[in-house]
Amino acid sequence: MFRKVLLCYDGTAEGRRALRQGADVVITMRSEAYLLAVCQTYISSAIPEGVNPEFARCEDERSQALLDEGVRWLKERGVTAQGSLEYGSPVDRIAEAAERIGADLIVVGHKHRTRLARWWSESDEESLLERIRCSILVAVSDEA
């Protein structure tokens, strides 16, 4: 049913849950896996004096390490996976990657937020659903 699965991974507890659940789907369905790590760059929000090549390199290294960790975890479970590290808005990068690889399923993690947190923060979840043409699995925590 699902031939190509896009696993979205950021190293958080929610991202790890999505990786585990996505790997279960990939293994069960014998699908192809593509791991996407999206880095929301903080360089654009840093003060000009604080932006230097070392800061950018450290951010790149951390993000690449997260991607490598996810690919390694999948390989340890017998899943052959490709992956990429991309920068920018997670919604934009996920939608573009899904289209580019022809994903049948996208797996993302979700963290429950309080009403106050939802009120004060922007949410792109709805816009992701509007931009994709495939199924989506949202890995949620057992905790409410």
Distances (CA, A) of 8 to 15, 109, 119, 139: 7, 8, 25, 11
Q: Which CATH class is domain 4-139?
A: alpha beta
Q: What is the pLDDT of residues 71-119, one digit of tens each?
A: 888 889 888 888 998 888 888 899 999 999 999 999 998 776 655 544 4
User: Model-level pTM?
Assistant: 0.77
Q: What is the pLDDT of residues 24-35, one digit of tens each?
A: 999 999 999 999
Distances (CA, A) of 98 to 36, 39, 43, 62, 132: 10, 17, 26, 24, 7
40 vs 11, higher pLDDT: 11
User: How confident is the model at residue 55, as a pLDDT?
Assistant: 45
120 vs 24, higher pLDDT: 24
Q: How confident is the model at residue 123 (pLDDT cuts 50, 70, 90)?
A: low
